[in-house]
Amino acid sequence: MSVPKLEQLSQSVVQGPSLAAGAIPTRDWMDIPVKFTPGSYAYVAKKDKVEYLNSQSGLSFPNAREWSPEDDDWKLPEGWKEIILKGLQERLGKFRSLKIFMDCCVRCGACADKCHFFLGTGDPKNMPVLRAELLRSVYRNDFTLGGKILGRMVGAREMTVSVLKEWFMYSYQCTECRRCSIFCPYGIDTAEITMMLRELLHLVGIGINWILEPVSNSNRTGNHMGLQPHTFKDNVEFLVEDVESLTGVKPDISFNRKGAEILFITPSADVFAEPGLYTAMGYLLLFEAIGLDYTWSTYASEGGNFGLFTNNEAMKKLNAKMYAEAERLGVKYIIGGECGHMWRVVHQYMETMNGPADFLEKPVSPITGTVFENAASSKMVHISEFTADLIKHGKLKFDKSRNSHIKATFHDSCNPARAMGLIDEPRYILDHVVDWVEMPENTIREQTFCCGSGTGLNTDEIMELRMRAGLPRANAVKYVHEKHGVNMLSCVCAIDRATLTSLNDYWTPEVGVCGVTELVANAIVQEDETRGELEEGLRTMVF
């Protein structure tokens, strides 16, 4: 009796073919179409945003319209297939990496189980190798002799609407975190395949609002939030007041000041939303403590570059703004705040897109005299490199007990860790300012797990998807929380500060999120301070 009962139970557990239902999948992955239901996709870009972007010089975002992924008809432009194939051909010629990545995969499967989307969903199309096959199959069909002759036998398939829909589904279930790429014996950067998929989709007007609106805002006012110069200035000034009321020290700040030695650029979220605000207060305190000659800019008021998540033209344009502003102000170099993908763009793409930034100087710390040789080309120094160097030279005084309310761990943000190798500097800083522990080895440093919501996927309509994708990271946080009593997850990325907050609120509500510079500023001791007991550091409410 029990065996049939168990099978009956299985029928209610799973729908469709699966081992539990006693069936073996009978269809090839190519024959399983995607289905869009609420929560499975991010809202598409608003028509007016696409129109605006398409009207801007250097940018192309055609086919603005009202549409929904749930509709059968996606209102694609006439000749959409030719547009896609021509776009692919152009890119194969333009980007050597794409051509190599299309050809050299041997489907060894080393990447398959390294993706947080796969680990959280179990969906085979989230294996990086298969996500790449979505594009590679079309490449084979139209650009290789074998594919043209043998077709499906060699994994080739024709470009159809169904394929296009699949591209949309899975290129937006990849956060371009590049964890898979470190396991690939051929060094295939699957993130770049996702980038190409998204570029191709934009050619026919397929994109999401959570990305295109920040791009449009950045193009218009210089930052994701669409804050105009006076608002941006007001926000930073509020933070100055907060710092003063907490510590008795009033940071000296300036905006758009020509002749300043350094231009400071950070994600706008740091001056706008919690918990990034505390990190921004940290920057103010830190720079005040060392008397840095620097300026904020109300034009280059955004470190983040959502252009990276659309196409190379938008990425180039938004990146250029930072350097144009540095040149206009006549600064020597740029210090960049705790941001994720800004560093990827600066380290991996800036030089060929907008470089070389010859009008700037090789960065030298005015406090320690250290020459940042690693930034000789980009002319941009990461705040953690800069701070670690200050500590190394004994230029900062700390009282670690000011962080005694915190037991921290450190999340390596994907882009600083994997795209620029910023791994030991934040750890060196943490050693000096707070009691902290590492998460398990296979979840940190180069192997770090993504927050699950990067590349513009940090929107609330796909919250379940984000929680699934963030599970591998959250799982490690939960472990150190239970084992070591960790109550704070520190990181060096603004998107992380926002998304890990939501992730922890679901998986481990007892653990907060902060920037490394917030912890630095909590512990910093300054000469003229009149700071009382701040039980929660910069987060203490003072009345």
Partner 1 sequence: MDIAEGFRFHGDKIVNRWVEYTLSTYTSSGFFLKERDKFANPVGGNFREGLQKLFLLLSKDADPQEFTAPLEQIISIRAVQEFTPGQAVAPLNAVKHIVREAFAADKERQHLVGELYDFEFSVDLAVIAAFDIYMQCRERLYQVRIAEIKSGNHILTDSKCPSSMLDGDNKKNIKTVNGI
454/174 Cα distance (integer angstroms): 8
Q: Which is nearer to partner 1, 326 or 469 (CB)?
A: 469
Q: Would you count residue 20 as binding partner 1 (CB under 8 A)? A: yes
Task: Tell the smallest beta-carbon distance from residue 335 to partner 1 (Å).
Answer: 25
Please, which residues bridge with residue 514 across strands? Answer: 490
Could you say whether residue 34 binds partner 1 (CB under 8 A)? no
Site for partner 1 in 324-363 (CB under 8 A): none
Burial class (CB in 10 A: 0-12, 13-18, 19+), 541: exposed
Residue 531 C-beta: closest distance to partner 1, Å: 27
Tell me the C-alpha distance between 265 and 495, whole Å. 15
68 binds partner 1 (CB under 8 A): no
Contact between 5 and partner 1 (CB under 8 A)? yes
- Please tell me whether residue 9 binds partner 1 under the rule CB under 8 A: yes
What crossing angle do the helices spanning 128-143 and 80-94 adopt, rounded to 10°?
Answer: 100
Retrieve residue 242's tokens: 């907060």
**Between 124 and 366, CB nearer to partner 1:** 124
How far is 174 from 192, CA to CA, in rounded Å?
A: 11
C-alpha–C-alpha distance, residues 380 and 362, integer Å: 9
Residue partners of 156: CB distance under 8 A and separation at least 6: 137, 138, 140, 141, 144, 146, 147, 148, 150
Q: Which of 113, 431, 510, 536 binds partner 1 (CB under 8 A)?
A: 113
The interface with partner 1 within residues 213-242 (CB under 8 A) comprises 213-214, 216-217, 220-221, 224-226, 228
DSSP 436-447: EEPPPGGGSGGG
x-or-dash string of contact with partner 1, 124-163, rule CB under 8 A: x--x------------------------------------
Stretch that binds partner 1, among 100-108, 134-142, 172-180, 211-219 (CB under 8 A): 211-219
End-to-end CA distance of the chain: 70
Least distance between partner 1 and beta carbon 304 (Å): 11
Helices 471-484 & 494-507 angle (0-180, nearest 10): 70
Element (H, E) at 514: strand 512-515
User: No. of H helices and E strands in the chain?
Assistant: 24, 8
Which among 113-121, 374-382, 484-492, 532-540 is the span making contact with partner 1, rule CB under 8 A? 113-121
> Cβ–Cβ contacts within 10 Å for residue 477, how many?
25
- Among positions 279, 458, 517, 522, the unique one binding partner 1 when judged by CB under 8 A: 458
322 burial class (0-12, 13-18, 19+ CB within 10 angstroms)? buried
From 50, 262, 433, 498, residue interacting with partner 1 (rule: CB under 8 A): 498
For 369-381, b where at least 16 C-beta lie within 10 A, e where not — what string?
ebebeebebbbbb
Q: Which of 222, 267, 416, 472 binds partner 1 (CB under 8 A)?
A: 472
Q: Which of 41, 118, 168, 410 binds partner 1 (CB under 8 A)?
A: 118
In the complex, minimum distance from the CB of residue 507 to partner 1, in angstroms, rounded to a whole number: 7
60 binds partner 1 (CB under 8 A): no
Q: Which stretch binds partner 1 (CB under 8 A): 63-71, 148-156, 329-337, 439-447?
A: 439-447
The DSSP bridge pattern shows strands 333-336 and 407-410 to be unpaired
Part in contact with partner 1 (CB under 8 A); list of ranges 192-200, 387-395, 483-491, 499-507: 499-507
Q: Which helix (H) or strand (E) holds 135?
A: helix 128-143
CA distance 526 to 523: 10
Query: Residue 536 corresponds to which tokens in the numbers above?
Result: 């929660």
Count residues near partner 1 (CB under 8 A). 64
Q: Which is nearer to partner 1, 351 or 482 (CB)?
A: 482
Instruction: Tell me the two tokens of residue 26.
Output: 């009978």
Q: Choose between 37 and 401: whose C-beta lies nearer to partner 1.
A: 37
Residue 120 vs 336, nearer CB to partner 1: 120
Tell me: does residue 69 bind partner 1 (CB under 8 A): no
Binding region for partner 1 (CB under 8 A): 2-3, 5-6, 9, 12-14, 18-20, 25, 43, 48-49, 52, 112-113, 118-124, 127, 209-210, 213-214, 216-217, 220-221, 224-226, 228, 269, 272-274, 440, 442-443, 458-460, 463-464, 467-468, 471-472, 475-476, 479, 498, 501-502, 505-507, 509
